[in-house]
A = this chain, B = another copy of it.
Amino acid sequence: MSVPYTIGTPGYVPASQKIPPIALPLVSPRAKVFLDKIERFVEEECVPADEVYEQALGRDVQSRFSSHPQIIEDLKKRAKELGLWNLFLPKNHYQGTGADFTNLEYGLMAEYLGRSHIASEACNCAAPDTGNMEVFAKYGTEEQKRRWLEPLLAGEIRSAFCMTEPHIASSDATNIELAIRREGNDYILNGEKWWSSGAGDLRCTVYLVLGKTDPQNANKYKQQTLVAVPSNTPGVTVKRMMQVLGYDDAPRGHGHIVFNNVRVPVSNVILGEGRGFEVIQGRLGPGRIHHAMRCVGVAERALEWFIARLVDPRKKTFGKRLVDHGVLLERVAQSRIDIDAARLAVLNAAVKVDMGDTKSALKEIAEVKVQVPAVLLDTLHRAMQAYGAAGMSQDTPLARMYGRNRTKKIVDGPDEVHMQQLGKTECRTRGDQMLEKITAQRRKTDELLKQYGMEKIDVLQLDRAYHHAAKL
């Protein structure tokens, strides 16, 4: 049975017709076709499967991290049939495999993928695999590509990226301490990582681990090295899984991993010793845009749940449907405004990345990194509040969406760090220039006053002679 109110149903406006007008000239007809296919796949097949997937994991903690529900494999098969596979890949990717969409185009698609918990994985477009595949394709050796990139591209294995550490303030990445010591043709790793997302997954067979090979290097951006570590290497222990507001995000989860004399061959290095920072910076760009667009999709879905509640005839209070309470309408409107603006900001950042290198788009990327999660969490709060206690429970997807996204204000660097950076950049690049412009404009005003025969008077300047006359 097909889910009504998706493409083909009377009255339903398909995704391709909801593209913001300003973006339209940059979206190819082929991308529009894919966009509509994705919307339909997500709304009709993935969203309904979300709860099935969750149910299949069961209630027992141990089982939740040892499960691999069949439905995700069936969805992957279906996505491949539909051609909705590896859509994030740029044109010139490994062996010409790229789906060849621009970041703008894939961004539009990512919004729909974001609406379902499992759609991204179904289309092999889930983080952190996407970024890791880009790393392997861009910097990997032939051997690394064969061993990890190919099965990743095929959706057979998964991967994790291990960067954050428990004992330091990781929002400053130069603080990381995991030691990578060379011994002959091997590296020996010692240290701990946490918030390694995806590390709980049975199929997660490779970790990209950032550590320090040269902690004394005067250049603190040359101390780090990235190495690929098979997850079954002796000495690797997933000590525990981190919770986020009570959620475990099983079966992938966020691992706290101990590396105890973990030995890998030197050939597992990515790009080269001391070049870890270079790799992680090359990895960051488009991923954040995809992240942000998925968040826009979550927000849009939250708003849909919000308005569905307001018109629900069974939910009347004080004789009125919720839609007749002005306070809630104002919140719908605020979310509508916020989400529409956030989407445009992300798409604009995507276009900037498409136009050149990611570096020139750093400002735009940082802006949406902060803006989008704020919009999303606000919208979720409003929607949850409309549902009452049900909105915080397992009976709507809202609470889980909140749990999954509250961390967005932290991951890839806390908002606060990005804000300071944005503020500093703005002041550093333009502050003096603006001070000089304003000064020059004031000078010009003085010239004009002279030219027009006016003295600069203050609007309220007073003759205070009376003071001298006043008697005390």
Contacts and interface: CB of A to CB of B under 8 A. Distances in A.
Given A420-B330, A434-B307, A467-B238, A347 B22 contact: yes
Contacts of A54: 459
Contacts of A419: 327, 329-330, 333-334
Interface stretch (A136-144, A184-192, A401-409): A401-409
Contacts of A420: 325-327, 329-330, 333
Nearest to A205: B472
A154 interface: no
A71 interface: yes
Contacts of A468: 232, 234
A218 interface: no
A169 B315 CA distance: 5
Interface in A337-357: 337, 340-342, 344-345, 347-348, 351-352, 355
Given A175-B316, A234-B468, A458 B168 contact: no
A104 B407 CA distance: 37
A310 B388 contact: no
Interface residues of A, number: 178
Contact of A22 (B71, B240, B344, B414): B344
Interface in A32-85: 43-44, 47-52, 54-56, 59-62, 65-66, 70-71
A213 to B, nearest CB: 22
Contacts of A49: 445, 448
> Which of A206, A248, A423 counts the most chain B CB atoms within 10 A?
A423
Interface stretch (A127-135, A285-293, A425-433): A425-433
A317 B175 contact: yes
A85 B323 CA distance: 47
B327 A330 contact: yes
Contacts of A120: none
Interface string A428-463: 001111111110111111011100101011111111
Contacts of A12: 433
Interface stretch (A88-96, A272-280, A391-399): A391-399
B426 A307 contact: yes
A352 B3 CA distance: 31
A49 B448 CA distance: 7
Give chain A's interface secondary structure class.
helix
A132 to B, nearest CB: 15
> Which of A389, A392, A409 counts the most chain B CB atoms within 10 A?
A389
Number of copies: 4
> Which of A253, A341, A351, A417 counts the most chain B CB atoms within 10 A?
A341
Contact of A246 (B232, B238, B243): B243
Given A240-B460, A388-B410, A416-B385, A21 B329 contact: no
Contact of A427 (B238, B311, B431): B311
Interface string A10-42: 011000000011111110000000000000000
A246 B400 contact: yes
> Which of A166, A394, A409, A466 counts the most chain B CB atoms within 10 A?
A394
A100 B452 CA distance: 35
A336 B426 contact: yes
Contact of A438 (B305, B326, B347): B305
14 contacts: A61-B460, A70-B452, A166-B390, A236-B467, A238-B467, A242-B395, A246-B399, A248-B460, A307-B427, A307-B434, A328-B416, A330-B420, A333-B423, A336-B426
Given A55-B456, A337-B371, 12 more contacts: A25-B25, A48-B442, A164-B389, A169-B314, A202-B470, A244-B399, A245-B246, A303-B426, A307-B430, A341-B344, A385-B409, A389-B407
